[in-house]
Structures are given as structure tokens and as C-alpha cells.
Structure 1
């Protein structure tokens, strides 16, 4: 019987190859048009305000690290004062009134998200379910990481799961953590991927019971991840030790076998 996890990883690899070929991000990450406008202001590292008053949140990326000024400057250099088009599956505003979208500066075939990722000024959020688009964003991030640009110039860009103190320093920030899952346990409605032996001090990634079927469907069930080296991304919180809650399969990257 074919291992579903192997199928998932092979599929993901195929998408990465596709994304790094001659195809552009414009083809991969431009869903339905949501309108256009001129950028009046850059709110922060991943938010724009248009002249008509709409606030746009860049979909698919997060600002890594704690240097907010750098993120805003990078986005300003790309989009400030420019005519842009918006693309997305849903133009409904979030609870803060922001419209999530992929943004393209007039005349560019690459999204603003792609440009920020390629410069090492953003991290893939892992919340894009469309496979071609997710793979294209991952390829852009990988290119910056390989070239050690922006965020990736720092040796601490990826936190080591064996250093919980370093991860705790990033509480409230979107962070990438790498390490080996030493054990998996369930407590109530939450499953814990433990990266250390001390459950009250060491780093763990958590998955809600209602999310487990999505991970299992992708061949990434918690028990399968046990004793594997993985990379997880998300916002760091603290419940004893540092924690990252996993809401989507895209937040997990398997780095190797057992």
C-alpha cells in the first residue's frame, strides 16, 4: 500500500519544482480580481491603506522578527504611492476592517508578497491552501534563505527547539522553530508535539483535536511526526514553556526521515 505521507511529500516537492520553473507568481497567486487603487499609506510591514480608505492586509505572509520599522520600510519601497490591483477569493473585511488580498503593483508580474519574500523581508504564513500558490510563496522564501537576505542574514532566524529561552524571547511574534519531535501526547482536546523532555519548560507545538483530521489527511498525523525533524511556524505563546499552535498543515515542514 502506498504511504500517504510519502505521497504528500512527493506532491509538495513537485509543486516546489513547478514554482521554481519559468512560471511566475502572477499565474500562481492571483485569484479573482478584487479591485484596484492607489496606495496612500503603508500602515505596517504587511498592511496598506488605499486612497479610497480601504485597508489591505497582505495575504499569505507574516513579518518575522521584532523589527517593525524594517518591515514597513521594505513594503514602502515596493508599494508606497503606487497603483495596485488586488486579488483574492473573498473581499470580506476581517474583524479589524482589513481586506485580505494578493497585491500587484501596476506593471509587475510578481505579487508584493513575492517581492517581500524574495528580499527576505517576510515569512510564509502557511495559511494559503491553494497548492500552486503555497508552493510559489515557499520557493520565494527559500530563495531568500539560501541567499541569506534580510531576515535570513541572522543566524537566529530559525529558532532551535533545544533553546526554549530564545523562543520565549519571541512571544507574540511570528517565528520559525526547527527541531525533532521527541514525543506526542494528548491532554484533553489538545495534542502536544513535544520537542523536549520537560513538558513545563521545553518547546511544544500544539494541535487542537478538531484540526487533527486535516493533518492526518495530508499524511502528517501527530504520531507519524514523532521522532521526525520538522520545522514549524506560527506565533509564539507561553504556557509554561514556549508554544506554537498549529492551525493549518502549511505550518509544518518535514525536514527528513527518522
Structure 2
């Protein structure tokens, strides 16, 4: 379940105070190791060259590895400022992986569309990096098909952080966007809330929200609802990448929403019961 807080789109906080930052790192260090969320024996034992950010690694053989099942806050790049807790997520990953080689375990897809290796990553003690990041509140659980083998376990680790208000789940730390407030220039990973106004079906199920945004669902997933539920009027909370199809698309497809968020599984969306 995604517990969203009434924070506006422009509410990214200033850098954390030194005191809060030190306390946060101490808390993360004291969290228990996570040998859970294990898919199987290691497919590869590899050496780490550097941590690029909380969820991306560079190996000594030159390959880039993107963790499956998590999205950590982005560091500053391309003129965009750092997202809340991006530095903390990177430093947490550096400490968690120090002291030895890494274990990579593959799921169904082994590469993303950027050519990065997709893998579940464990440190030399066999502890899950994804599980640890989620439990510390330093990443969001994402469930992107077809790599859903550990989605239920990772979702439960995120829920622990939400319940304890850790990291990105601390009230006021991460902005929550309203579907009705989306404007040109908005995009990237978001927490989004809105109300379903219409439903369209083709190869996907499209929940059209109050605003210029639709949520794309996979028709074969049940999203925790019984078949045939009436979606209209229901409040949703979704996390994922907000895709802007552009002004040209919008002008040529006036019955379609300009922006959409794809939800591949029930682990990334909550739909109200009334």
C-alpha cells in the first residue's frame, strides 16, 4: 500500500541538515542485514568498480548494473537538482557493498533498453541490496514486467519503511503529484494521485484521471480487484515513470491523455474500494 502525503509538486526539500544526516546514517547502519528476498544461487560473482548512484553500479569489467525492483532517488545531473535522499542512497549502497565481491542473480530479462545489466544484487555476505535499500526508505519498490519474481518480497520490505516513516516515507520529504496539476516539463519517476474519470481498453486497460494523465494497466493482472469492477470515481495512488507523449501527440489524439504512467503489477498501484 502506498501512503501518500499532501505535499505539492514543488516541495523538494533543501539538503538535509548535518545533524539529521548523521542520525539517518546511524539508523541505516543499525537496520538488520537482509538475507531475504533471495531468488536463487548466484549466476555470477563480480567485482565492483564504483557505485554510480543508489541503484546503479559499475563493475570492474566495464558493465553497468541496474538493480531489479528498486528505484533510488536521482543525483543531480543534466541541469536537474538532486532528488531528496539521493546522496544518502548512494552512500548507503557504497557501505553495504564494501568488503568483497558481489553476487548477481538474474531474472527473466537480463538487459534494459539502455544496455545495462538487470540483476538482483547481494553483497559478499549474501545480503540483498534491494531489500536493504527498501527497508531503509532509500528507494521505492518498482515492479516492471517480466522481472517480477521477487516483487512480493520487495514490496513487503517497502511496506516496513512506510509503516515506520523512514527515508522517502518521512512526511514532507518526497513530493506527491496531483494528476490535475501535471504541466509541460513534468516527468520522470513520480508518486501520483488522482481520480479515475474514464476507462478505455485496447491491448491495455487505461485509467483516465482527472487531469492530462492516464494510468496504463496490464489486462492479465488483477490489481487486487475482482473481475469487472467499476473503476470510475475511484481514487488511485500510483508510483512509476511519468511519460510525456508531447504536444504534437496530444493535438493529433485529442481523445487520449498526453501523459501516462505504466503500472505492470498490483505492487505499484493502490485503488480505493469506493
Q: What's the counterpart of residue 26 of structure 2?
A: none
- Distance (whole Å) between structure 2 residues aligned to residue 25 and residue 135 of structure 1: 15
Query: What SS does the corresponding residue of 1:205 show, helix, strand or coil?
Result: strand
Instruction: Report the more deviating stretch, 184-193 or 44-53.
Output: 184-193
Does the aligned pair in 1 maintain the 2:43–2:103 contact within 8 Å?
Answer: yes
Question: Is 1:157 the equivalent of 2:171?
Answer: no
How much does 1:125 deviate?
1.0
- Give the deviation of 1:186 after TM superposition: 3.3
Greater shift after overlay, 33-42 or 116-125?
33-42
Q: Which residue in the other structure is 2:44 paired with?
A: 35
Query: If the length of structure 2 is used for normalisation, what is the TM-score?
Result: 0.66
Which is richer in strand? 1
Aligned to 2:259: 243
Query: Aligned pair in 2 of structure 1 residues 30, 222: CA closer, same or farther (>3 Å)?
Result: same
Shift of 1:218: 6.7
Report how many aligned residue pairs link the two structures: 224
Deviates further, 127-136 or 43-52: 127-136
Structure 1: runs of 5+ lacking an equivalent: 1-8, 10-23, 197-201
Structure 1 match to 2:91: 73
Matched, 1:186 2:195: no
Matched residues in 2 for 1:103 and 1:33: separation? 9
Higher helix share: 1
Unaligned runs of 5+ in 2: 2-32, 75-81, 251-256
Q: CA RMSD in A?
A: 3.5
Q: 2:59 aligns with which of 45, 50, 60?
A: 50
2:101 pairs, out of 75, 83, 86, with 83
**Structure 1 residue 117 corresponds to structure 2 residue 134:** yes
Measured in 1, the distance between the counterparts of 2:262 and 2:116 equals 23
Alpha-carbon separation, structure 2, partners of 1:251 and 1:170: 27
**CA positional deviation for 1:95:** 4.1
> Aligned equivalents of 2:227 and 2:175: distance in 1?
23
Partner of 2:191: 176
Q: What SS class does the counterpart of residue 112 from structure 2 fall into?
A: coil
Do 1:214 and 1:249's aligned partners in 2 also have CA atoms closer than 8 Å?
A: no
